[in-house]
Amino acid sequence: QVQLVESGGGLVQPGGSLRLSCVVSGRPSTTYTLAWFRQAPGKDREFVAGRSWSGHNIYYGESVKGRFYGSGDIAKNTLVLQMDALKAMDSAVYYCAAARSAVVDTTISYWDYWGQGTQVTVSS
């Protein structure tokens, strides 16, 4: 019974910050990795950030580098995304995902499990 639940979304003004969290229940496997994706209306689902099982590799999407910071503890089945300097373009539903793998891949089909998403709206 693998379940991913996101929280922390909301409405924020441009330049503001939000902190998202993802909690995974029913550990997918002994070795797995976690990532954040987002999807805006009419757009493809986009890779935001991900962490390999080893913790040595953390990846960020080009559009969020320098503004978003991913952290958390896979062993505790948690993933956190600190989002700073938010822009209107960051408005989207944010999803966490899990894969039965030790590495991160940015392609949608790679991921085995998905949360239901949390809405982030950046607007004045």
pLDDT category of residue 27 using cuts at 50, 70 and 90: confident
pLDDT at 74: 62
pLDDT at 89: 97
Of residues 3 and 72, more confidence is placed in 3
Average pLDDT, the chain: 92
CA quadruple 24, 27, 28, 34: dihedral sign: positive
Of residues 29 and 15, more confidence is placed in 15
pLDDT at 55: 73
Q: Which residues pair with 78 in a beta bridge?
A: 23, 73
pLDDT at 54: 77
pLDDT category of residue 104 using cuts at 50, 70 and 90: very high
What is the DSSP pairing of strand 92-99 with strand 113-114?
antiparallel
